[in-house]
């Protein structure tokens, strides 16, 4: 029910926002502009083999083992969150475009790896079909591209940010929500950003995408009120990960600047908060948690030495 309804909404929204291109056309354009992901080198049959292996791994779990799915788990907050949840006893399904990374991570933490580009509805559907049980979903896949004024904005960068942060989260939610509810105590954790809380110059592609992702998450909190599923939005400030390196397309000097003059958060700081949320009793819903370095006041204001 949810999948069919949201699929139509997502498709119409994407077309209205960005024009009537096919998804394949858009992915081709992104690959040309930003470099092909590792999944571009994985054949469909190879990916299907991985989903089949994931299905076998989940089916073999003890009946009481809880399953957590973490998107964007190849580095940073996603990787750290996967480690934290594994330490808490969850069987963690780690998904990302960089499959070789999540494969190594899964082996290390005793979890399961899956090829996952959240903008690819076929992959999201295949992952959902492979998983017999889902107790926790951590929507972590996302990111920023570029930094420019609205008038100078690169539309391909905007498209990437909206499709990854907003529609990617939508795809994961519509695919896994039935299983989260069926678990009897589902939990959705969505990692947004302080960029969702304010508007600032030269950042509108990211701020609008993260604001939309936040609204999507909060809307679901109301739409599924009364169902056995909880929703927590985690709103990080400055976290030193690969985020800025991706945003500035590998320019290490630019990527380092946001973290200079203060002590930023690290991925483990955010992961510990996710772990805390996941360990709360079923009747406790932590709606939103903001987490910033002590020296950071807002997205644009910080004390730097």
pLDDT at 225: 98
Q: Report how far residue 271's alpha carbon sits from residue 223's, in angstroms, rounded to the nearest whole number.
A: 27
- Own/partner contacts of 196-202, CB < 8 Å, gap of 24 or more, are 196/235, 197/235, 197/298, 197/299, 198/298, 198/299, 198/300, 200/299, 200/300, 201/149, 202/147, 202/148, 202/149
**Nearest Cα to 246, choosing from 167, 171, 147, 154?**
147
Q: Which superfamily, per CATH, for 2-291?
A: NAD(P)-binding Rossmann-like Domain (3.40.50.720)
Q: How far is CA 76 from CA 82, 243, 250, in A?
A: 10, 8, 16
pLDDT at 41: 63
Q: Residue 38: what pLDDT?
A: 56
Q: Kindly compute the dihedral angle of the four CA atoms of residues 262, 268, 271, 276, in this order, to the nearest 10 degrees.
A: -90
Catalytic residue annotation:
206
Per-residue tens of pLDDT for the chain, all 305 residues: 444 334 333 333 333 334 434 334 433 343 333 333 455 468 888 999 999 999 999 999 999 999 999 999 999 999 999 999 999 999 999 999 999 999 999 999 999 999 999 999 999 999 999 999 999 999 999 998 988 999 999 999 999 999 999 999 999 999 999 999 999 999 999 999 999 999 999 899 999 999 999 999 999 999 999 999 999 999 999 998 877 777 777 778 877 888 899 999 999 999 999 999 999 999 999 999 999 999 999 999 999 99
How many angstroms separate the CA atoms of 189 and 77, rounded? 12
**Nearest-angstrom CA–CA distance, 67 and 148:** 40
Structure tokens at 70: 């973490």
Rounded Cα–Cα distance for residues 166 and 273 (Å): 22
> What are the tokens at 197?
């809380």
Query: Tokens in use for 121?
Result: 């509805």
181 in Cβ contact with 192 (< 8 Å): no
Distance (Å, rounded) from C-alpha 229 to C-alpha 178? Answer: 10
């Amino acid at each position: 029910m949810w999948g069919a309804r949201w699929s139509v909404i997502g498709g119409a929204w994407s077309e209205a926002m960005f024009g009537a291109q096919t998804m394949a056309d858009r992915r081709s354009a992104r690959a040309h502009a930003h470099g092909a992901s590792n999944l571009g080198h994985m054949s469909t049959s190879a990916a299907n083999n991985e989903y089949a292996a994931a299905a076998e791994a989940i089916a073999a779990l003890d009946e009481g083992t809880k399953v957590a799915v973490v998107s964007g788990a190849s580095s940073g907050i996603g990787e750290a969150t996967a480690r934290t949840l594994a330490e808490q006893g969850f069987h963690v399904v780690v998904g990302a475009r960089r499959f070789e990374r999540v494969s190594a991570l899964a082996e290390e933490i005793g979890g399961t790896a899956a090829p996952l580009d959240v903008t690819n509805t076929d992959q999201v559907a295949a992952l959902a079909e492979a998983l017999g049980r889902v107790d926790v979903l951590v929507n972590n896949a996302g990111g920023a591209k570029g930094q420019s004024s609205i008038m100078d904005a690169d539309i391909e960068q905007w498209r990437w940010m909206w499709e990854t942060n907003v529609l990617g989260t939508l795809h994961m939610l519509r695919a896994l929500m039935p299983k989260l509810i069926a678990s009897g105590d589902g939990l959705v954790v969505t990692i947004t950003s302080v960029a969702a809380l304010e508007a600032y110059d030269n950042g509108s592609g990211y701020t609008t995408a993260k604001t939309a992702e936040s609204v999507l998450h909060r809307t679901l909190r109301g739409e599924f009120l009364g169902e056995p599923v909880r929703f927590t939005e985690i709103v990080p400030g400055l976290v030193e990960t690969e985020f800025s390196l991706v945003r500035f397309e590998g320019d290490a000097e630019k990527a380092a600047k946001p973290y200079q003059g203060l002590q930023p958060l690290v991925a483990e700081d955010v992961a510990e908060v996710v772990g805390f949320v996941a360990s709360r009793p079923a009747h406790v819903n932590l709606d939103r948690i903001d987490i910033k370095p002590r020296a950071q006041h807002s997205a644009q204001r910080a004390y730097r030495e």
